[in-house]
Chains A and B, each alone.
Chain A
Amino acid sequence: MNAISNDDILLKAGNLRWEVGENLHDSLMESLYTEASRIADRVVTRSGAPGRFNWDRALDKLLTGRWTGFPIMILLLMVVFWLTIAGSNVPSSLLASLLLDTVHPVLRSLGESLSMPWWLSGFLFDGVYLATAWVVSVMLPPMAIFFPLFTLLEDFGYLPRVAFNLDHLFRKAGAHGKQALSMSMGYGCNAAGIISTRIIDSPRERLIAIITNNFSLCNGRWPTQILVATLFIGALAPPALSGFLSASAVVAVALFGIALTFLTSWFLSRTVLKGEASTFSLELPPYRPPQVLKTLYTSLIDRTILVLWRAVMFAVPAGAVIWLISNIHVGELSIAEYAINWLNPFGLLIGLNGVILLAYIIAIPANEIVIPTILMLTVASTGVSGYGEGAGVLFELEDNLQYLSVFQAGGWTLLTAVNLMLFSLIHNPCSTTIYTIYKETGSVKWTLVSSLMPIAMGLSLCFLVAQVWRLATAGG
């Protein structure tokens, strides 16, 4: 027997490489899997007689049926939203009265009794504390109701059926059916919606879902929509119809958001995301009774607390900034007033104003504080008397008439209201969401795309609406 040298072996292996061809790895893997399944089939016995009535299939027929699937889906979603809105009103106002009306004055008087300088107590209690308390009281109750409800539906096995029902719509937009779920989750909170895109295992479709989640009108933006629609749009109709008209306006904005989701998904999947890999598959797990306690625990820890914590971390600096820019004076004016004056020409050009733009800049941390910030800045910059609690202190008003008088003092028109509603839907995601996008994608590029694309779209749309509006009204 001749000894074979290493070189010979390498040469032989090198030549064989060309002969076995490119399918070697695949064939190897295929035969391994096949062998494994063959062994499993031989030794595993399955219980359950075939042909027995199948509950899962019967339920599937109902929930994904041609005539029953969509109505049940819409009904369930509406129940979830209704429970969230109705259920969070009471705890939200409780929290607000506790944190804003009770604890805040206590903290202030504590500051006085410790003879803190005004700027320190102002910065800490009026700035940092108030903004944080605001975010917590507005954000916590709806999230603590919405997310567990959603998780229960998921646990039961219903949500994958929704994805199955809607997949053909999303397929046409180049997206994944499961985006329906992350989109609905976005109505609770965009940051949570973006975390929920983890269920989409295909890289390209997941990025699409992340970038377009911002078009789901989140919890923090609903109050803005409702307030502005009630004050300006509702007033256009006779009193009997005004409630209906303003509600329709809010729904129209939300539907416009859905339309934008599809449109942007379609655009992204054909342009910048064309080259990302795509692997579609949708598992429809068997139905099972939801584990209520476990669900409550995990949804509170995983979603609510995590998102709230991030929001608080961002609200703290926002509160500080709001107080500081309103209280640091350079010459005659505060920094806030300089910024408003500087932003005003551009704001008016696109049918908004300097106050709104500045509010959206400093309220990047949380959409919840946009309206209080607008109020505070309007009162501070126009000098309307009788409202507010001082520079840099966020506040709410008692009734709609007071809101209207402040906004009118700020020079608002119907155009301002319409554009504010549009801009509230289409602007950059809040900083919590931006941070979450970065954590989930791990990419600066996609974080920038998802932050800058909506703001560019929002500004362009407001600009266009303002010009068309002015042309139309000037003619008439």
Chain B
Amino acid sequence: MESHALINPEIALLWAGIAISILAVVFWPNRGLWARWRRTLQNTRRVRIEDALKHVYDCEYKQLTATHKSIAGALSISGDEVARLLERLEGLNLLRSEGEMLTLTEDGRAYALRVIRMHRLWERYLADETGVSETEWHYQAEAKEHLLTIEQADALAVHMGNPSFDPHGDPIPTAAGELPERRGIALTQLRPHQYAEVVHIEDEPTAVYAQLVAQGIHPGAHVRMISSDKNKIEVEVEGVENILAPIVAANVAVVPVGRVTRTEKAGATLADLAVGESARVAGISRACRGPQRRRLMDLGILPGTLVTAEMRNAAGDPTAYSVRGALIALRKNQARMIHIERNGANGV
């Protein structure tokens, strides 16, 4: 009966271990053989051409000069490869090089704008309709921009209601390739006590971008300069004080505004409300987007709405609020997105 004895458990475990190791080596996310192979397939000639055009265009837009060196840096390729790439681009009549200086031809500019359009549309899509985190938008769009066809990009734009800006505040080129002038000044240039609205955040380098996201800075946010010097910049972001390094703050573009809406002056959010307290909603933060934002509005959480914190879970999260006669539980990370005005609720 003991046919079990035929199977040696040590050998079975050994084989299983080997099988798992092989699977791990092949399918490990991002670093496995499968992921590498996919990346090599994608990293075609087309990708290099498009990335080079984008780089040159970006330099022109920022009124910098694109050079062989800057291309080599941006695409992480060697000088020889840059030379071959430029030769090909000139052959395709997309680029002209005069000595070290590179300029785009009309065709090259149109091509670059198409790629940028796809990139920014995809970022917009990720931001509005998926739960992909902020720090991954750019990375994913970098791959997707080379894969979308023009028709797909147009369909995506129509589906999202022809958005004009990507989630970092960069304008999305229209299908005809139109793009407005660059707006805004660097955050560092703001005078003390001046109010401004964030219009753009540079999404590279990633580490700086992640820091800005973590500090609650996002396009649409209202900021007030408190003080700035060579070493640090103190700003109020949606009512909360933040300290930034000048090099970080330089990646944020703002447009000064004269008057400040109720939303951003308030500072306090729904998460600060103690059980039994009431407050009026001042607004929903711009960082809350897409379906999440619509959901809150559907529930009737709008500027001026009276909200009372009714009860809190024993573990501290979620909290139930009474909103327009209904009892709605929200988690802390959502309640933080809703700015409130406490004095407005007095006497109600």
Q: Residues of A at under 8 Å CB distance from B?
A: 14-15, 17-18, 21-23, 25-26, 29-30, 33-34, 37-38, 46, 56-57, 60-61, 64-66, 69, 164-165, 167-168, 171, 177, 201, 203-204, 271, 274-286, 348-349, 411, 413, 463-464, 466-468, 470-471, 474
In the assembled complex, the Cα of A25 lies from the Cα of B290 at a distance in Å of: 11
Asked whether any CB of chain A lies closer than 8 Å to the CB of B177, the reply is: no
Q: Give min CB distance, B256 to chain A, whole Å.
A: 15
**B16 near A463: Cβ-Cβ < 8 Å:** yes
In-complex Cβ contact of A474 among B9, B297, B304 (8 A) = B9
In the assembled complex, the Cα of A30 lies from the Cα of B12 at a distance in Å of: 63
In-complex Cβ contact of A467 among B12, B29, B163 (8 A) = B12
Asked if A277 meets B297 with Cβ closer than 8 Å, knowing A37-B302, A284-B329, the reply is: no
Q: Considering only CB atoms, which chain A residue lies closest to B14 in the complex?
A: A467
| Residues in B223-282 with C-beta less than 8 Å from chain A | none
**16 pairs of residues in contact across A and B, judged by CB atoms under 8 Å:** A14-B174, A22-B163, A30-B283, A33-B297, A33-B302, A34-B302, A164-B318, A171-B331, A201-B295, A276-B131, A278-B131, A280-B330, A282-B328, A282-B329, A413-B4, A464-B16
In-complex Cβ contact of A30 among B7, B13, B302 (8 A) = B302
Given A22-B220, A167-B329, 20 other A-B residues pairs in contact with their CB atoms under 8 A: A15-B180, A22-B163, A23-B286, A34-B303, A164-B318, A167-B313, A167-B318, A271-B29, A279-B291, A281-B295, A281-B296, A281-B328, A282-B328, A284-B327, A285-B326, A285-B327, A348-B7, A349-B12, A411-B1, A463-B12
**B313 near A64: Cβ-Cβ < 8 Å:** yes
B133: chain A residues at CB < 8 Å are 274
Contact with A along B150-164 (1 / 0, CB 8 A): 000000000001011
A167: chain B residues at CB < 8 Å are 313, 317-318, 329, 331
Q: Give min CB distance, A270 to chain B, whole Å.
A: 11
In the assembled complex, the Cα of A57 lies from the Cα of B129 at a distance in Å of: 36
A65: chain B residues at CB < 8 Å are 314
In the assembled complex, the Cα of A413 lies from the Cα of B5 at a distance in Å of: 13
**B320 near A164: Cβ-Cβ < 8 Å:** yes
In the assembled complex, the Cα of A201 lies from the Cα of B131 at a distance in Å of: 14
**A22 near B329: Cβ-Cβ < 8 Å:** no
Asked whether any CB of chain A lies closer than 8 Å to the CB of B334, the reply is: yes
B164: chain A residues at CB < 8 Å are 17-18, 21-22
A279: chain B residues at CB < 8 Å are 291-292, 295
Q: Give min CB distance, A213 to chain B, whole Å.
A: 21
B302: chain A residues at CB < 8 Å are 30, 33-34, 37
**A21 near B165: Cβ-Cβ < 8 Å:** yes
**B161 near A25: Cβ-Cβ < 8 Å:** yes
**A283 near B328: Cβ-Cβ < 8 Å:** yes
**B315 near A168: Cβ-Cβ < 8 Å:** yes
Q: Considering only CB atoms, which chain A residue lies closest to B290 in the complex?
A: A277
In-complex Cβ contact of A23 among B129, B220, B290, B299 (8 A) = B220
Asked if A66 meets B314 with Cβ closer than 8 Å, knowing A18-B164, A279-B295, A284-B329, the reply is: yes
Contact with A along B77-94 (1 / 0, CB 8 A): 000000000000000000
In the assembled complex, the Cα of A14 lies from the Cα of B164 at a distance in Å of: 10
Q: Considering only CB atoms, which chain B residue lies closest to A160 in the complex?
A: B329
In the assembled complex, the Cα of A278 lies from the Cα of B132 at a distance in Å of: 10
In the assembled complex, the Cα of A29 lies from the Cα of B289 at a distance in Å of: 13
Contact with A along B9-29 (1 / 0, CB 8 A): 110110010000000000001
A56: chain B residues at CB < 8 Å are 327
Asked whether any CB of chain A lies closer than 8 Å to the CB of B293, the reply is: yes
In the assembled complex, the Cα of A201 lies from the Cα of B299 at a distance in Å of: 13
Q: Considering only CB atoms, which chain A residue lies closest to B315 in the complex?
A: A168
**B297 near A276: Cβ-Cβ < 8 Å:** no
In-complex Cβ contact of B303 among A30, A66, A278, A280 (8 A) = A30
In-complex Cβ contact of A164 among B325, B326, B329 (8 A) = B329
Q: Considering only CB atoms, which chain B residue lies closest to A409 in the complex?
A: B1
**A470 near B313: Cβ-Cβ < 8 Å:** no
Asked whether any CB of chain A lies closer than 8 Å to the CB of B106, the reply is: no
In-complex Cβ contact of A14 among B126, B171, B178, B317 (8 A) = B178
| Residues in B1-54 with C-beta less than 8 Å from chain A | 1, 3-4, 7, 9-10, 12-13, 16, 29
With a 10 A CB-CB cut-off, give which of A203, A285, A349, A474 has the most chain B CB atoms.
A349
Q: Give min CB distance, A407 to chain B, whole Å.
A: 13
B16: chain A residues at CB < 8 Å are 463-464, 467
Asked whether any CB of chain A lies closer than 8 Å to the CB of B130, the reply is: yes
In-complex Cβ contact of B329 among A57, A281, A471 (8 A) = A281
A283: chain B residues at CB < 8 Å are 299, 326-329
A164: chain B residues at CB < 8 Å are 313, 318, 320, 329
In the assembled complex, the Cα of A279 lies from the Cα of B292 at a distance in Å of: 5
Q: Give min CB distance, B44 to chain A, whole Å.
A: 25
In the assembled complex, the Cα of A14 lies from the Cα of B311 at a distance in Å of: 49
B220: chain A residues at CB < 8 Å are 22-23
A34: chain B residues at CB < 8 Å are 302-304
Asked whether any CB of chain A lies closer than 8 Å to the CB of B192, the reply is: no
**A22 near B174: Cβ-Cβ < 8 Å:** no
Asked if A277 meets B303 with Cβ closer than 8 Å, knowing A65-B314, A167-B329, A168-B318, the reply is: no
Asked if A467 meets B304 with Cβ closer than 8 Å, knowing A30-B297, A277-B131, A278-B292, the reply is: no
| Residues in B161-208 with C-beta less than 8 Å from chain A | 161, 163-165, 169, 171, 174, 178, 180
**B130 near A281: Cβ-Cβ < 8 Å:** no
Q: Considering only CB atoms, which chain A residue lies closest to B255 in the complex?
A: A21
Asked whether any CB of chain A lies closer than 8 Å to the CB of B108, the reply is: no
**A22 near B318: Cβ-Cβ < 8 Å:** no
A64: chain B residues at CB < 8 Å are 311, 313-314
In the assembled complex, the Cα of A275 lies from the Cα of B7 at a distance in Å of: 43
In the assembled complex, the Cα of A30 lies from the Cα of B328 at a distance in Å of: 20
Asked if A22 meets B313 with Cβ closer than 8 Å, knowing A29-B297, A467-B13, A474-B9, the reply is: no
In the assembled complex, the Cα of A37 lies from the Cα of B330 at a distance in Å of: 21
With a 10 A CB-CB cut-off, give which of B10, B165, B174, B329 has the most chain A CB atoms.
B329
**B165 near A37: Cβ-Cβ < 8 Å:** no
**B313 near A348: Cβ-Cβ < 8 Å:** no
**A471 near B331: Cβ-Cβ < 8 Å:** no
In the assembled complex, the Cα of A283 lies from the Cα of B302 at a distance in Å of: 17
A38: chain B residues at CB < 8 Å are 304
Q: Considering only CB atoms, which chain A residue lies closest to B4 in the complex?
A: A348
**A275 near B132: Cβ-Cβ < 8 Å:** yes
A60: chain B residues at CB < 8 Å are 310-311, 320
**B129 near A348: Cβ-Cβ < 8 Å:** no
Asked whether any CB of chain A lies closer than 8 Å to the CB of B300, the reply is: yes
